[in-house]
Amino acid sequence: MDTQEMIDLCKEHTMYTWSAQGDVSPLPVEKADGVYFWTPDGKKYLDFNSQLMSVNIGHNHPKVTAAMKEAIDSGLIYVFPGSATKPRAKLGKLLADITPENLNTFFFALGGAEANENAVKAARMYTGKQKILTRYRSYHGATNLCMQLTGDPRRLPNEPGTPGVVHVMDPEPYNYKFGDDDEEKTERNLEYLEEIIMYEGADTIAAMMIETVTGTNGILPPPKGYLQGLRELLDRHDILLICDEVMAGFGRTGKLFAFEHAGIKPDIVTMAKGMTSSYMPLGCMAISDEIADHFEDNVFWGGLTYNSHALGLATATASIEVLLEEGYVENAAELGPVMGEHMARMQQKHPSVKETRNIGLFGMIDLQRNAQGDPMADYNSNSQAMDDLNRFFRDEGLFTYTRWGSFMCNPPLCITEEQLRDGFEIIDRGLTIMDQYVEE
């Protein structure tokens, strides 16, 4: 099959996400290895977004592919969810060992959205309450419920949806400000949140779900003290804390889980993406011992055909072992400041750069069209400038995502300092194009 036939058949017979199908121009991919992938005609790309912030250990790691082949050759690929298997036993024990001591029970799904769906089910069944607080600058998945948990504009065409979701502003809203420094932002946002709880009634709210570090909608690390303050506030009102670690988990921020930066213990944690480095679909909900005890005597009304899929679980175990044994979490922590230095250099050099931020190898650069800081593309929109930047990155062999007036910097955690520098060399040249769009 030649490249054009592959593209034509994909467009003719399959649907693409978040797109009018007539506007799709898919990137043909034939193979991938480490931090790179190639088109069928041999064009090489530096993967600066880990595909969807998910290929944390890099592409085609030999230890993981060998473990997958071994799992297939074992003769056990799939059995029904009510079975006990070695992959299920091994991954459950591994996760209990690497998560906080209050998290020892895990429910396996096929991705982050299913993990979040089941987290809401568990919270509602455990508490007997129905409402879920989430934030406007959030993304939690594309299923019916998760679209309503999501705060960003992709929610709007999917409304009306599941009732009982209450959205609140983040400590870092898109325009409004809670303050100028971390202490003020934390204090005022938590005051605001407590008032929302008063309006909604604490006795009606089962849980608050947050992305521990906001992902798609800004890559926003929480201000200092926020997670500790949120944990205390929710405890005081008997509301569970669900941390969505689908993007931020498994080393992305320089810690195994992003909530570790604050030293807190969530009641429920959801995971996916980096759990298998996307070598296989898998999601997971971790629940605290108190919640797990409740379901010893009460039915958990959730399930799916592929719960605890043996091949997926074996893949996750191998991927997590590589992540830990080869020091990729530490590499993300060490290269995070290096990425920050590259970003700061871009901001100093290019008038088109408004703001940069990262935590570990989880980063974003915001662009502006004037000295007043107006974004290069408005909220929930695109612009010719951003189209030009995206095209330049693709032409120059850098794969990442532009979104509204920003673009992402989320390479695999196995990246080297030299490869990181190569990526920012392309970004540097691309920003020179963006500078031409800055108004006098």
pTM greater than 0.95 (yes/no): yes
Question: Comparing C-alpha atoms, which of 262, 255, 257, 243 is closest to residue 360?
Answer: 255
- Measured in whole angstroms, how far is the alpha carbon of residue 4 from the centre of its chain? 32
Answer whether 268's CB lies under 8 Å from 207's CB: yes
Instruction: Using CA atoms of 15, 17, 20, 22 in order, give the dihedral in degrees to the nearest 10.
Output: -50
Query: How crowded is the C-beta side of 303, counted as CA atoms within 13 Å?
Result: 7
The answer for residues whose C-beta is within 8 angstroms of residue 16's C-beta and 6 or more apart is 24, 26
pLDDT digits (tens, 9 = 90+) for 165-188: 999 999 999 999 999 999 999 999
Would you state the pLDDT for residue 207?
98
pLDDT digits (tens, 9 = 90+) for 315-340: 999 999 999 999 999 999 999 999 99
pLDDT digits (tens, 9 = 90+) for 151-164: 999 999 999 988 99
Residue 264, pLDDT > 90, answer yes
Q: Which residue has the tokens 């009641």?
A: 267
Mean pLDDT of 203-223: 97
| Band of residue 110 on the pLDDT scale cut at 50, 70, 90 | very high
Mean pLDDT of 221-245: 98
Strand-pair partners of 271: 284
Would you state the pLDDT for residue 1?
86
- Helix, strand, or coil (residue 288): strand
Whether the ω angle into residue 160 lies within 30 degrees of 0, i.e. cis, is yes
Answer whether 389's CB lies under 8 Å from 365's CB: no
Mean pLDDT of 97-121: 98
Go through the domains of the chain in sequence order and give each one's CATH number: 3-57+327-435 (3.90.1150.10), 63-325 (3.40.640.10)
Residue 257, pLDDT > 90, answer yes
Would you state the pLDDT for residue 102?
97
Euclidean distance between CA atoms 246 and 215, whole angstroms: 9
How much is the mean pLDDT over the chain? Answer: 97
Longest dimension (CA), the chain: 68
Would you state the pLDDT for residue 220?
97
Euclidean distance between CA atoms 273 and 33, whole angstroms: 18
pLDDT digits (tens, 9 = 90+) for 40-62: 999 999 999 999 999 999 999 99
pLDDT digits (tens, 9 = 90+) for 428-440: 999 999 999 999 8
Question: Comparing C-alpha atoms, which of 178, 189, 183 is closest to residue 133?
Answer: 189
pLDDT digits (tens, 9 = 90+) for 360-416: 999 999 999 999 999 999 999 999 999 999 999 999 999 999 999 999 999 999 999
Question: Comparing C-alpha atoms, which of 364, 143, 96 is closest to residue 247?
Answer: 364
Q: Is 428 exposed, middle or buried (0-12, 13-18, 19+ CB in 10 A)?
A: middle
Euclidean distance between CA atoms 413 and 385, whole angstroms: 30
Would you state the pLDDT for residue 440?
80
Residue 201, pLDDT > 90, answer yes
